[in-house]
Amino acid sequence: MSIAESIAPHLPYLRRYARSLTGSQQSGDNYVAAVLETLIADSDAFDRSIAPRVALYRTFTKVWNSLAVNRVSDDTRQLDKPLAERRLDSITPLPRQAFLLVSVEGFSTAEAAQVLDVTPAHVTELLQLAGAEIAEQLSADVLIIEDEPLIAMDLEALVVDIGHRVQGVARTHQEAVAEVAKKAPSLVLADIHLADGSSGLEAVNEILETISVPVIFITAFPERLLTGTKPEPVFLITKPFEPAVVKAMISQSLFFGLRSKKSGQRAA
């Protein structure tokens, strides 16, 4: 099997990882493009002795670590950066990578160690560091846009469990817009398909015309929104979701304080 055939099923999820790691669709997709360019230029960069998915993410890590800005924090240089980028440099890169690899991408500790080229024991230490940094996050007001009552209840419980507040639950596009009109949330968790046949994407785009807020989308078909060919969600959860994934995405999106702008970052 060729490298292209081996990695094709995993590329949408590498895009998710890259976007979550950088807090930006454009930046994340640029890293994935750099990985593909690396593999085209040097096929030996792809380790065929390990599982293709692990090998792909391992190549990504090598590309990520080849850029000094991802390894070293320079306070003078940070003064010229947007807030999200300064916060990106404020957390140790390896703990953030280990956290996302295990919590969101579903790698085992041993696989994450292969991806990061460290020992499993080191990954365990990195996860503990990431957990300590996440625990320091301030409590946030979360708007849930979800039409299925049981899923909405699960999300409410998860939000509260990690120390945040549920501002409200909206089942339709109009309910979501009305909730935001009452009070601007700190974060939005949005399903793609809503009860009245409306689109969660459209609801969020309307919301982003009035406020800037980080958004996490929930969908049963993430690969449809991770093509890299148009403006797409930065933070994405797959249905059916695991509680750990939801908690990880909430923490990561709040870490960046991602602020979608009317001028560029529409949801779809």
Distance CA 53, CA 40 (A): 17
In tens, the pLDDT along 233-258 reads 778 888 888 888 888 889 888 877 63
Q: Hey, what are 171's tokens?
A: 């089942």
Higher pLDDT, 203 or 228: 203
* 151, HSE (Cβ side, Cα atoms, 13 Å): 23
Fold topology of 3-135: Butyryl-CoA Dehydrogenase, subunit A; domain 3 (1.20.140)
In the chain, domain spans:
3-135, 141-256
CA angle, residues 65, 267, 156, in degrees to nearest 5: 90
DSSP 8-state class, residue 68:
G
In tens, the pLDDT along 95-148 reads 889 999 998 999 999 999 999 999 999 999 999 988 887 777 778 999 999 989
Is the pLDDT reported for residue 264 higher than 50? no
pTM for this entry: 0.75
Q: Which residues pair with 193 in a beta bridge?
A: 199
Distance CA 181, CA 138 (A): 23
Residue whose C-alpha is closest to residue 45's, from 56, 34, 53: 56
Distance CA 23, CA 26 (A): 9
The architecture of the domain spanning 141-256 is 3-Layer(aba) Sandwich (3.40)
